[in-house]
Structure 1
Amino acid sequence: MTTTHDKNTVTIYEYPTCSTCRSAVKWLENEGWTVNKHHIKEHPPTVEVLTDLIARSGLDIKKWFNTSGDVYKELQLKDKLPHLSQEEKIKLLSSHGMLIKRPVVTDGERVTVGFKPEQYAENWSRSV
């Protein structure tokens, strides 16, 4: 299942050279989070982890796909995705980390996908 966390740690699935991911890590560290980094291309989340993360996120699985990425375009997923089952989509995401919209951040309860400062302020702000 999802990595267990203490109350000061978040896990981020990121691509280290991605400027958006670097911005998210910097934002989280500035808020006082300990950031447990996972290289999304080298070690994509497993089907089990993704199933849990997607459920916790409350987002439609379509929001989990990096639709602007090369792998998405090469596999022509715009046309194929509507015909795949939820299980097939999750399996696809776990087999190609670059298909996953990044960064994915979780504390074991909450999950966010992508990086928007206002979304992070709402979900990950440490100030009360």
Structure 2
Amino acid sequence: MGLTLYWHPQCQTCRKTKKWLDEHQVTYEPFHIVKTPPSREKLQELYEKSGLKLKNFFSTSTKKYRELGIKDQLKTATDQELLDLLSSDGMLLKKPILTDGEKVIIGFKEEELEKYTTTSKM
């Protein structure tokens, strides 16, 4: 299975990740995270495979995150409610998300990208 990159062209971290992948000639399928966000089912799969807490999938720096009071919702909402919220708007997702269907990286972490790409070479 190939790599999938959920990214947003205006996100500096996304551009940095995309540039790194391109420079290292790593093949991936890009998806504009706002125009083509991952489905709720895909988000649940990414969450389960990531080993991260669901709160790590939220972009805390967005206006919508603050407007919706998500910080407070994280304390009491179920995982199902949080997944519904994340799948409602791609801008709520921390970006970029890179996966091969088994492993998941959120954000730009060069050391993880190096390991990831050497074990996931296409």
TM-score (norm 2): 0.90
Matches within 5 A, 1:21-100: 21-100=14-93
Tell which deviates more after alignment, 29-38 or 115-124. Answer: 115-124
Deviations 1:62-81 (A, max 9, x none): 11110111111111111122
Per-residue deviation, 1:17 = 1.6
Identity rate of aligned residues, in percent?
Answer: 42
Q: Which runs of 5+ in 2 are unaligned?
A: none
Gapped runs of 5+ residues in structure 1?
Answer: none
Kindly tell me the number of residue pairs found equivalent between the two proteins: 119
Which residue in the other structure is 1:106 paired with? Answer: 99
Tell me the C-alpha RMSD between the 2 structures. Answer: 1.3
CA deviations 1:65-105 (Å, max 9, x no partner) are: 10111111111111122111000101100101111101000
Corresponding residue for residue 10 of structure 1: 3
